[in-house]
Amino acid sequence: MRPVIKWNVGEEGVRAEYKPYGNAKAVLLRNFGHSPNYYCNYCDRLIPMVNMEVEHILPKSVARYEHLEFSWTNFLLSCKNCNLAKGAENIDFDEFYWPHIHNTRPIFVVNVDGTISCNPGLDAAEQNISQETIRLLNLDCGHTTPRRQPQDDRYMAREYVLRLAERKLIQRRDGKLNDDDIIELAITNGFWLVWMQVFEEFPGIRTGLIHAFKNTYEDCLDDNIIRAHP
Ligand SMILES: [Zn+2]
């Protein structure tokens, strides 16, 4: 989950409310990506603009959150799978990690089958929140773990990009690719966290990935999940 800087109301022409809420999509796309490359705020996958959805962080169909249906502060961008996984669960905001609030770079690890696990290096309280976030979004769904949706291919897409990144790592180590080649591949294939994880030994690539994906939280290499600044 790429930690992002979400614009505040008043910044970049952002309004407090968008009615209907679909009108916020263009602004969210501009906030988090560059045409034609846009990514789900939760699973990091590359999504064509037409398939991207305005996601209500706190579900608009839950009575106590109905008043947030048009509120900018309650929006993120997500793919259909992440939106469906969250559904209308009556959640409390403080029980999860969010990409625009927390430094979500250290909370997850990408597994060889493309699923997501919580980082075993976190303390017990952090692991609980990380695990709850995975459960909410069903990010551990894979070949052997339960699927809540028949058409959930997020782990397959992530596994494909993981294999690609691992092949490119070998070529980078051999000097057959440079840092910019890797960053370009990451931008056009998505799954920011996969590239950050695979290229851990190349600090220049990781810094490049932080700057190339629009509005990534700059201090995300810090291991603190609580952000030092907004
Ligand atoms: Zn997603």
Per-residue pLDDT of the chain (230 residues; tens, 9 = 90+): 999 999 999 999 999 999 999 999 999 999 999 999 999 999 999 999 999 999 999 999 999 999 999 999 999 999 999 999 999 999 999 999 999 999 999 999 999 999 999 999 999 999 999 999 999 999 999 988 777 788 899 999 999 999 999 999 999 999 999 999 999 999 999 999 999 999 999 999 999 999 999 999 999 999 999 998 76
Q: Locate tokens 């990380």: which residue?
A: 130
**Ligand 1 centroid from CA 175, angstroms:** 33
Q: Residues 6 or more apart from 47 whose CB is under 8 A from it?
A: 38, 39, 40, 79, 190
C-alpha–C-alpha distance, residues 79 and 91, integer Å? 19
Residue type, 6: K
**Ligand 1 centroid from CA 83, angstroms:** 7
* The token pair that represents 112 in the structure block: 């060889």
pTM of the model: 0.96
Residue 158: predicted pLDDT: 98
Q: Could you state, in order of their start, the residue ranges of all structural domains in the chain?
A: 11-212
CB-based contact 39:157 (threshold 8 Å): no
**Ligand 1 centroid from CA 68, angstroms:** 21
Residue 20: predicted pLDDT: 98
Q: Locate tokens 């597994």: which residue?
A: 111
Q: Residues 6 or more apart from 187 whose CB is under 8 A from it?
A: 37, 212, 213
C-alpha–C-alpha distance, residues 91 and 12, integer Å? 30
Residue type, 14: V
**Ligand 1 centroid from CA 173, angstroms:** 31
| Best CA proximity match to 151, nearest among 217, 200, 67, 85 | 85
> Measured between alpha carbons, how far apart are the two ends of the chain, in Å?
17
Residue 150: predicted pLDDT: 81
**Ligand 1 centroid from CA 142, angstroms:** 14
The Cα-based distances of 94 to 16, 91, 129, 158, 203 in angstroms read: 22, 9, 9, 28, 32
**Ligand 1 centroid from CA 176, angstroms:** 32
**Ligand 1 centroid from CA 128, angstroms:** 21
**Ligand 1 centroid from CA 46, angstroms:** 9
